[in-house]
Amino acid sequence: MANITKKRIAIIGAGPCGLSQLIAFKQAEKEQRIELICFERQAEWGGLWQYTALTGIDPCGELIHSSMYRHLWTNGPKEMLEYVDYPFEKHFGRAVSSYPPRAIMYDYIIGRATAADIHKFIRFRTAVRFVNFDVNTKQFHVTIQDLLNEKILEHLTFDHVIVATGHYTLPNVPNFEGISKFPGRVLHSHDYRGADEFVDKNILIIGGSYSAEDIGIQCYKFGARSITISYRSFPMNFKWPDNIKEVPMLIRMEGHTAYFKDGTSVDNIDCIILCTGYRHNHSYMAEPLRLYCSGNLFIPSNLYKGIFWSPELRLAYLGMQNQTYSLNMFDIQAALVRDVFLGYVKLPDDDDEKKREEDISQWQAREQVIAANDHEGFTDLQTDYIRDIVSCCDQNTVPKFDLERAKAGFYKFFNDKREDFITFRDQTFTSIFPPYNEAPPCQIKWTKNMDDSIEGYLSSIKTT
Ligand code: FAD
Ligand code: NAP
Ligand code: MG
């Protein structure tokens, strides 16, 4: 095929979503149908799964991307996110238990990318600064900055752009009366790097979601004196150990004392960790292309099938929804982007913006009636969403797994947490695609497991 017919495709970000997209496009690139470039502002791939001890700004003056911390274990079973074409067992050469630590996840994610030989498509230390669209030429103009070589700006054109920049980096930092005068340490979960500095401390955590529960339990595991978790909407209501308690919303701080909405107070707070979530930031997109997403939604506005920018369907956003499913959902989204951009399938209503909006609105209406603490409800919604996008893909190539098994796996996971939050990571799960293997248990209970290295973790798995 002559070069002139090649479509030029840009991917922004080499985190899990960008890597899924590169792998999905690899075959078409080999067949010389497309030119493929992925821009990544960090020095390495893997997105958030790369751990760095740094907080604030990196050596190139960029905001530190990752919100990962030491001793982070996955907060859901690995079976529910496993790549269909690349099982954990294939990567590690042995069966892996259901809740691995971050290092295992990182090794697994970049292991698949390495095996797929996609490193060559990535321009590292290159930040995308601006993306615009020319409605006459139907071309995207992408302005990039080389962060290593004197920061020269370059302008490139593309037929398609895929945004895969993540949305768990920019902290959402609410203000509370008296917090600016609090004499102890205040940080957001984005800057939390481990529990060591909180040993013997009285901690106040603000937030009632995954960061609050995980940082709270980790501080407990490593020896914090007391942990008070202040929620806004709903208590998590887990059976916490004695030195963790949940209280309603923080009203004000006075010195080291925290006052809550129910009139109670806690003295001697040493540090406050804001686990108040993250904000989307797509300021590098020109206004008509920019996704605005307040909060953490399962169905963001303007994204047809949760992916395609409506009205300009040549632009896609990957992984922008709140995630019950993660890696395996990114693979399916990437498959649909490939199929649509290369003309392998036609999207329903690709020529009717009104119908697309109706489709988005129907999904949003469904999300709106799910209570914020109804995890099963959100799982049902995202399971149906995946079923919908799978049905739009080329059926011969879309990665498939058993959605009913996945849903049942998530339900079991939520039950395990409710039954005993301290032991839920000791449970095992069955794979959601053939041959449906049951994971072996980890011999060291999670509360006692202080070794989050790959070697330490693998050696603690019982194999028969
Ligand atoms: P990211 O991983 O954030 O990657 C985005 C990439 O885009 C980054 O490499 C970034 O440098 C790059 N980028 C951004 N802007 C630009 C730009 N302008 N130019 C060039 N490059 C750019 N999920 C799970 O499934 N299980 C878990 O246990 C789990 N734990 C988590 C723990 C924490 C603390 C957090 C914050 C998230 C966790 N997640 C977990 C969710 C996690 O976000 C996803 O698993 C996954 O990393 C999302 O991939 P992504 O590619 O969308 O985004
Ligand atoms: P999140 O799920 O968006 O939750 C944000 C929390 O902050 C919510 O409880 C919200 O309360 C609260 N909040 C927001 N604004 C507030 C305000 N003004 N005052 C008080 N409370 C406020 O964010 P997250 O918990 O940081 O999780 C982000 C992602 O990281 C998730 O995908 C999660 O799975 C992942 N994560 C994983 C792990 C792991 O163990 N592997 C650990 C941490 C995080 P409302 O409910 O009232 O809105
Ligand atoms: Mg159009």
The pLDDT of residue 4: 56
The pLDDT of residue 151: 81
The pLDDT of residue 402: 98
Residue with tokens 């502002």: 41
Of all ligands present, the nearest one to the C-alpha of 212 is: 2
Q: Which amino acid is at 408?
A: A
How remote is the C-alpha of 77 from its chain's centroid?
Answer: 15
- Select from 48, 125, 169, 326 the residue to mutate for testing ligand 1; criterion: most ligand atoms less than 8 Å from CB: 48
Which residues face 155 on adjacent strands?
A: 143
Distance, CA of 255 to CA of 258 (rounded, Å): 8
Q: Give Cβ neighbours of residue 136 (< 8 Å, ≥ 6 apart).
A: none
| Contact between 258 and 228 (Cβ < 8 Å) | yes
For 315, counting Cβ atoms within 10 Å of its Cβ (0-12 exposed, 13-18 middle, 19+ buried), the class is buried
The pLDDT of residue 1: 46
| Contact between 409 and 432 (Cβ < 8 Å) | yes
Which of these, 420, 414, 425, lies nearest to 460 by C-alpha position?
Answer: 425
The pLDDT of residue 463: 74
The rounded Å distance from CA 275 to ligand 2 centre is: 6
- Select from 187, 209, 233, 327 the residue to mutate for testing ligand 2; criterion: most ligand atoms less than 8 Å from CB: 209
Is 127 a pocket residue for ligand 1 (Cβ < 6 Å)? yes
**Tens-level pLDDT at each residue, the chain (464 residues):** 444 579 999 999 999 999 999 999 999 999 999 999 999 999 999 999 999 999 999 999 999 999 999 999 999 999 999 999 999 999 999 999 999 999 999 999 999 999 999 999 999 999 999 999 999 999 999 999 999 997 888 999 999 999 999 999 999 999 999 999 999 999 999 999 999 999 999 999 999 999 999 999 999 999 999 999 999 999 999 999 999 999 999 999 999 999 999 999 999 999 999 999 999 999 999 999 999 997 778 999 999 999 999 989 999 999 999 999 999 999 999 999 999 999 999 999 999 999 999 999 999 999 999 999 999 999 999 999 999 999 999 999 999 999 999 999 999 999 999 999 999 999 999 999 999 999 999 999 999 999 999 999 999 997 76
The pLDDT of residue 30: 95
The rounded Å distance from CA 344 to ligand 3 centre is: 17
The rounded Å distance from CA 71 to ligand 1 centre is: 17
Is 276 a pocket residue for ligand 2 (Cβ < 6 Å)? yes
Nearest CA to ligand 2 atom 35: 210
Is 209 a pocket residue for ligand 2 (Cβ < 6 Å)? yes
Distance, CA of 229 to CA of 250 (rounded, Å): 9
The rounded Å distance from CA 213 to ligand 1 centre is: 19
Cα distances (angstroms) measured from residue 423 to each of 68, 156, 250, 416, 430: 22, 51, 29, 8, 18
Pairing, β 160-163 against β 250-254: unpaired
Nearest atom in ligand 2 to 326's CA: 32
The rounded Å distance from CA 212 to ligand 3 centre is: 42
The rounded Å distance from CA 307 to ligand 3 centre is: 15
The pLDDT of residue 2: 46
Nearest atom in ligand 1 to 167's CA: 3
At residue 220, the 3 state secondary structure works out as helix
Taken in order of first residue, the domains within the chain and their CATH numbers are 7-169+278-406 (3.50.50.60), 174-274 (3.50.50.60)
The pLDDT of residue 150: 75
Ramachandran bin of 377, using left for φ above 0, alpha for ψ from -120 to 50, beta for the remaining angles: alpha
The rounded Å distance from CA 160 to ligand 1 centre is: 22
The pLDDT of residue 462: 78
Residue with tokens 């008509």: 288
Is 18 a pocket residue for ligand 1 (Cβ < 6 Å)? yes
Strand locations in 84-159, DSSP E? 122-123, 126-134, 139-146, 153-158
The rounded Å distance from CA 380 to ligand 1 centre is: 23
Sheet holding 265-266, edge to edge: 250-254, 257-260, 265-266
Of all ligands present, the nearest one to the C-alpha of 318 is: 1
Which of these, 97, 98, 76, 87, lies nearest to 378 by C-alpha position?
Answer: 76
Cα end-to-end distance, the chain, whole Å: 52
How would you label 8-38 residue by residue, b for 16+ Cβ within 10 Å and e otherwise?
bbbbbbbbbbbbbbbbbbbebbeeebbebbb
Give, for 188, the enclosing helix (H) or strand (E): strand 185-188
Nearest CA to ligand 2 atom 3: 277
Peptide bond between residue 288 and the one before it cis (omega within 30 degrees of 0): no
Give, for 359, the enclosing helix (H) or strand (E): helix 353-368
Is 168 a pocket residue for ligand 2 (Cβ < 6 Å)? yes
Cα distances (angstroms) measured from residue 287 to each of 144, 172, 284, 290, 291: 17, 22, 9, 5, 9
Which of these, 168, 27, 49, 53, lies nearest to 111 by C-alpha position?
Answer: 49
